Structure 1
Amino acid sequence: MISNIGFGRYHRRVLALCGLGWTADNAWMQCTACILPRIQQHFAVSNAGIGLMSSSMFLGLTCGALVWGPISDRFGRLLPYRWTLIVSATFGLLASATPSFSLLCLCLFGLGSGVGGNMPVDGAIFLECIPREKRHLLTLLSVFFSLGSVLTSAVALAILPPFSCPDDPGPGGCDVSKQNNGWRYLLITMSLLTFVMVILRNGCFRLQESPKYLLQNKRRSDVVMVLKKIVTFNGGAARKSAASAETGSNPGSYPPEDTGSHSSLISDDAVASCTSANDYNSTHSWLEWPENDAGHERTSLQMDSTTRHPTTFKARMHVWYLKLKGAFDVSSHIRLLKPLFAPSLRRTTILVWMIWGIVAMGFTMFNVFLPKLLETHNGAGEHKEKAITAGSHSKQTAVYRDSLIYAVSGVPGSIIGAWMVDTRLGRIYSMVLSTTVSGLALIAFAFSAKAHSTALTIVSSSVFGLTSTLMFAVIYAYTPEVFHPSVRGTACGMASAFGRVAGIIAPLITGLLLEVSTTVPLYVSVALLWAAAGCMFILPIETRDIAT
């Protein structure tokens, strides 16, 4: 049915607004990396201890993924879509006013709990509303992920150097309470930008619930209503096959576009004849889904028709009570995991979750500490002479300029990934190739530190930015594609949670390794990325030519 509607104005709007969620996700993670050296100076935190800041953020990301993913499977995609960015922006503002390092870590945990649930849910929303032949656009969605990093790096370059302690504060030292508030201004700016994204997503466009989610939960009348609204928003440009799906007539008898609205082409009978389970399993014959158990689980967890459309204040309060009760029902969340370990899917589930965890560990060990690593490199390179001038911010400016170059280099990676996944390489070999080259780029970056070569530092970090973005773009596309719509939110949320757990551990390990050498974490990252490439290589399911 979704393919019958085609790709129109509604889908382009969803692409842009879900893209804002991906932008916010990476913008906040990049923000944490940018302010890390300034926070370390502000609160006099050691290298071994500063990792707690990033770990707090990733702990929040983990909890957010574990909670919001199952919620999206139980109560629909719209609830996390509407609220996750609000949570992030609110805690971002609170973090800007914190007087201590411990309170800052607590606020970053709250910030991460919002961001952590947003990205996997947005990916599921977009995937479930687009035609099969447009699935490569999910990879292109990662362009917004890269733009988030570019946005934060550009704002950091404008705000942090002039409002931070100078490279050499002179004999009088630096009064951090007055001279080192750039990190606070950056947090405030990013929070305001996130609130703007919230307004655009919730106030300027009414997103419809995912048709595949509704169909999976046997809400066929709601599916018809949603599809009619999408057709109407698209200007009635349904495909000829939509008429055939309802009337069984010759496709050549499709009425001309000037005959009026085509929303009548979507009927209850057409939807009923195309159940999600049968449609999915016809092209996923290797999956032995426990339909009876899964169907029973799904049915038992749904609200009845009176609570789905409450008309009184008491009914609305009852709906919120059910939602809050469901959010903390751990046993029901665990039951939702059972289909993921069906014999035909067990290997895929384990490998996907391993890939998310290992890649996140290797990537975070480099990315979170990139500004600090660049400061170390630049301090020994061409910016050293400028940095010794009292009151100068030249080294910091160079660091955030290089960070911006690194962020910009990642933008083409998503575009290249959207092309690569539909070539003979497919999803799996695109992941393997990009992950392997990312490891090579980190080896070159480590060598640039020893050679004190600024040019090699910029080139190697840019190559890593390009290939790592390509790598993540394909991973983000492959993960929701390979799982059934009934458990897609849970599967993606759990995969994201494994990545976030790795993100909690990585900064702590990196902080300890930095006490030994700045290059040791880089070589550990290389080993992890290549281990992830090995897991990608043995994935049993290629999703390039299958429907979702």
Structure 2
Amino acid sequence: MNNNHLDDDSVDVEEQRSLVDSDDGLDDERTPLDKTIDRIGMGTYQWALLSLCGFGWMADNMWIQAIAIILPRVQQHYSVPDSYIGSVSSSMFAGMMLGAVGWGTCSDLLGRSTAFNATLFFTSIFGFVASLVDGFVPLCIALFFLGTAVGGSMPTDGTLLLEHMPKEKQYLVTALSIFFSFGSVLSAFVALIVLPGNSCPSNSSSAPASVLGLTDLVDCDVGTQNRGWKYLLMTLALITLSMFLARMVLFRLHESPRYLVHAGRPLEAVKSLKMISKFNGSDLEIELDDVADHHPATTTNTTSALPPSQSLLNGRPDSTVITGSMDDRKVDERVVFDAGDEAAGNAGSSSPTKNSTDRSTLVPSYNAVGETASNVLEGHSFKTPLLSNEDVLPREIPKRSNSDNEDEYKPNLGSGARKPLAAWWDRVSMVLEPEWFRTTVLVWAVWGSMSLAFTMFNVFLPKLLELGPSSGEVAKKTLEDNLWDVMIFTIGGTPGAILGAWLIESSLGRRLSLAASTFITAVFCVVFIMVESTWAVRLSTMGVSLSATAMWAVLYGWTPEIFGTKVRGTACGIASALSRIGGMIAPLLGGTLLMISRAVPVYTSVGVFTVAGICVLLLREGEGASFDRTGKGRRRATKVVVH
């Protein structure tokens, strides 16, 4: 990065500071570490990191789509009835839910870079294992472990990227959702190349009976002719391995400076920032004081008076609002999902504030890691405990033995182990209190039902395409034709993230945009089951893909705005967990319904989408933190992350 770019960035930072100072005398709310990262700016290092983080998001959706594509082939291979074939997808979704939590913990204990590299490595390993196992149950087990690996990519990669990005460029996290969409396209493309010549043809004499799970194969030897799905898994494992090698060989990742500061290693944070600055082509002078990630002791709660609308500078993400004195906190926690006191008393909220009293005696306080309240990374919070402020930036770090360190931290570890459950239960209790109960139930119902409905359609789409207009009849199309249909379906969803981001700020607003995209998705599902011509089927699937992707984009952008600061992290985290549970239930339920008729799973999805849309309409767009005290100045959802 050249000096001119640095000068421009410095000028822009000063403009932001002057704009904030001009409103009621408020000071710049960035910490010294925030300012240092802003000084470094958006250079070559950040752009390279954005691309490499995109690989993780691409791998996530690539594997999800691959499992849906191979489902009919696996059913043929092992003669699995419809009622059980959904276990393939459910196993992977179960692993993904566990992996998101596990790798989040790993990123806090071992560092962001460890999780960043390990997720793709283990994904490739378990991908190879899944391609080599023999037997339906071993395959499900292998896919479960694959899910535990790939499930950590989205939250951990998103965290790492946010912690390296200057504040005014954090909206570029939206680009990760584009990588996510192209993951399914890549999977469909590889399947189109690999499967047709290495699979039992759908129009063979034995294929119809096999697809329906009624009898064993006769004319197709699955051991030699139906190995295409194994080749697909192996190819995707190689692609994932190449992504891992690109991270290791083509790029030298420096540990997150924010993580290092929070882990009590500020000197390493200084070194990391200097290396990043040098990589960008500049040589900034960075001192120990420049990596402090807390405000001076004089910081007061007056910052909470800043309305959300004032934090929107030139259409960029809002600045983080820090409240309360940091000196009287022995332990602080930084989370990616902004579950904390970013605006004491919810000044920017028109929602009830009955329980906005200080709960610091019950749970630790939370603050955002320099991102807007609309940050959504799969709903998972990554918490890193901080030492007291006096210890975060020591004048010099004395050398100690391992035994000294153990003695010093044993009491903290003991007390820390007892707090999480009580803290979590306190947050859940707040979410379910009368003033939030209705909103919470509706939002959770929306997340669970949307995931259930879309997963049921998406997982069984390749199988539905191979069946005719009515159950029991095989479509007069080749496997290659069906795979082209899947390819077109995945391509149709690629503009969805951008469309969703536009809808959020359109005249329709959040609520009507989400409801409309949900109902439109349901309508296209009905069209899909009714039409018979090839292009009508393809257009209907494109409609489902586009509207559903936009639906998820709006949902992810709006959900954090619905809830107040005190309950936002818990409400969104549980909502994300419910979506994963819906994803696990859908394949099992869909397989059972498929035994009745081809149309039953689709109409069930339509019904669930309709319920979700009604729940959306019952919500109020002005709820939570989306409006300031006067009901004006709606906050921008600057980051949209696709499910």
Q: Report the 3-state secondary structure (helix = DSSP H, G, I; strand = E; otherwise coil) of the residue aligned with 2:364.
A: helix
The equivalent of 2:364 in structure 1 is 295
The equivalent of 1:512 in structure 2 is 592
| Counterpart mapping for 1:380-459 below 5 A | 395-425=478-508, 429-448=512-531, 452-459=532-539
> Which amino acid counterpart does residue 295 of structure 1 have in structure 2?
P
How far the C-alpha of 1:531 sits from its partner, in A, is 2.9
Structure with the bigger RCO (C-alpha within 8 Å, sep 6+) is 1
Q: Percent of aligned positions with the same letter in both sequences? A: 40
The equivalent of 2:323 in structure 1 is 278
The equivalent of 1:502 in structure 2 is 582
Task: Please report the TM-score for the alignment, with normalisation by the length of structure 2.
Answer: 0.67
Higher mean C-alpha deviation, range 376-385 or range 195-204: 376-385
Q: Deviations over 1:210-246 (max 9, x none)?
A: 566667778766666655555444445xxxxxxxxxx
How many residues were matched structurally?
506
Are positions 1:189 and 2:224 aligned together?
no
The equivalent of 2:18 in structure 1 is none
Q: CA RMSD in A?
A: 4.4
> Which amino acid counterpart does residue 46 of structure 1 have in structure 2?
P
How far the C-alpha of 1:265 sits from its partner, in A, is 11
The equivalent of 1:147 in structure 2 is 182
What CA distance in whole angstroms lies between the structure 1 residues aligned with 2:473 and 2:240?
37
Please, which of 129, 132, 143 is the counterpart of residue 97 of structure 1?
132
What CA distance in whole angstroms lies between the structure 2 residues aligned with 1:412 and 1:339?
36
| Counterpart mapping for 1:215-364 below 5 A | 228-236=274-282, 261=284, 263=286, 267-268=290-291, 272-273=295-296, 277-278=322-323, 281-282=342-343, 285=347, 286=349, 288=356, 290-291=359-360, 293-295=362-364, 332=420, 335-336=423-424, 338-339=426-427, 342=430, 352-364=443-455
1:139–1:476 CA contact under 8 A, matched in 2: no
Higher mean C-alpha deviation, range 455-464 or range 64-73: 64-73
Q: Deviations over 1:55-87 (max 9, x none)?
A: 111111222233334544566544432322222
The equivalent of 1:177 in structure 2 is 223
> Which amino acid counterpart does residue 281 of structure 1 have in structure 2?
E
Q: Deviations over 1:302-324 (max 9, x none)?
A: 8999xxx9999989xx9xxx9xx
What CA distance in whole angstroms lies between the structure 1 residues aligned with 2:523 and 2:481?
24
> Which amino acid counterpart does residue 178 of structure 1 have in structure 2?
T
2:202–2:466 CA contact under 8 A, matched in 1: no
> Which amino acid counterpart does residue 493 of structure 2 have in structure 1?
G
Higher mean C-alpha deviation, range 184-193 or range 118-127: 118-127
The equivalent of 2:610 in structure 1 is 530
Are positions 1:11 and 2:72 aligned together?
no
The equivalent of 1:86 in structure 2 is 121
What CA distance in whole angstroms lies between the structure 2 residues aligned with 1:330 and 1:161?
56
How far the C-alpha of 1:472 sits from its partner, in A, is 2.3
What CA distance in whole angstroms lies between the structure 2 residues aligned with 1:471 and 1:522?
18
What CA distance in whole angstroms lies between the structure 1 residues aligned with 2:521 and 2:421?
35
Please, which of 451, 464, 467 is the counterpart of residue 373 of structure 1?
464
What CA distance in whole angstroms lies between the structure 2 residues aligned with 1:234 and 1:333?
43
Higher mean C-alpha deviation, range 93-102 or range 54-63: 54-63
What CA distance in whole angstroms lies between the structure 2 residues aligned with 1:144 and 1:215?
30
The equivalent of 2:247 in structure 1 is 201
How far the C-alpha of 1:184 sits from its partner, in A, is 0.6
How far the C-alpha of 1:41 sits from its partner, in A, is 0.3
How far the C-alpha of 1:510 sits from its partner, in A, is 0.5
Shift in alpha-carbon separation, 1:97–1:379, aligned structure 2, 3 A: farther
Q: Report the 3-state secondary structure (helix = DSSP H, G, I; strand = E; otherwise coil) of the residue aligned with 1:141.
A: helix
How far the C-alpha of 1:505 sits from its partner, in A, is 0.8
What CA distance in whole angstroms lies between the structure 2 residues aligned with 1:189 and 1:406?
21
What CA distance in whole angstroms lies between the structure 2 residues aligned with 1:102 and 1:381?
27
What CA distance in whole angstroms lies between the structure 2 residues aligned with 1:133 and 1:503?
35
Structure with greater helix share of residues: 1
For structure 1, the residue ranges without an aligned partner over 5 or more in a row are 237-259, 386-393
For structure 2, the residue ranges without an aligned partner over 5 or more in a row are 1-29, 207-217, 300-319, 325-340, 367-382, 627-633
Task: Please report the TM-score for the alignment, with normalisation by the length of structure 1.
Answer: 0.77
1:428–1:536 CA contact under 8 A, matched in 2: yes
Shift in alpha-carbon separation, 1:381–1:515, aligned structure 2, 3 A: closer
How far the C-alpha of 1:188 sits from its partner, in A, is 0.5
Higher mean C-alpha deviation, range 467-476 or range 67-76: 67-76
| Counterpart mapping for 1:68-87 below 5 A | 68-72=103-107, 77-87=112-122
How far the C-alpha of 1:90 sits from its partner, in A, is 1.4
Q: Deviations over 1:85-129 (max 9, x none)?
A: 222221111111111101111111111111222223333333454
Higher mean C-alpha deviation, range 214-223 or range 135-144: 214-223
1:442–1:522 CA contact under 8 A, matched in 2: yes
Q: Report the 3-state secondary structure (helix = DSSP H, G, I; strand = E; otherwise coil) of the residue aligned with 1:411.
A: coil
Q: Report the 3-state secondary structure (helix = DSSP H, G, I; strand = E; otherwise coil) of the residue aligned with 1:38.
A: helix
Q: Report the 3-state secondary structure (helix = DSSP H, G, I; strand = E; otherwise coil) of the residue aligned with 2:553.
A: helix
What CA distance in whole angstroms lies between the structure 1 residues aligned with 2:561 and 2:256?
15
The equivalent of 2:12 in structure 1 is none
What CA distance in whole angstroms lies between the structure 1 residues aligned with 2:487 and 2:453?
21
Higher mean C-alpha deviation, range 406-415 or range 197-206: 197-206
2:514–2:555 CA contact under 8 A, matched in 1: yes
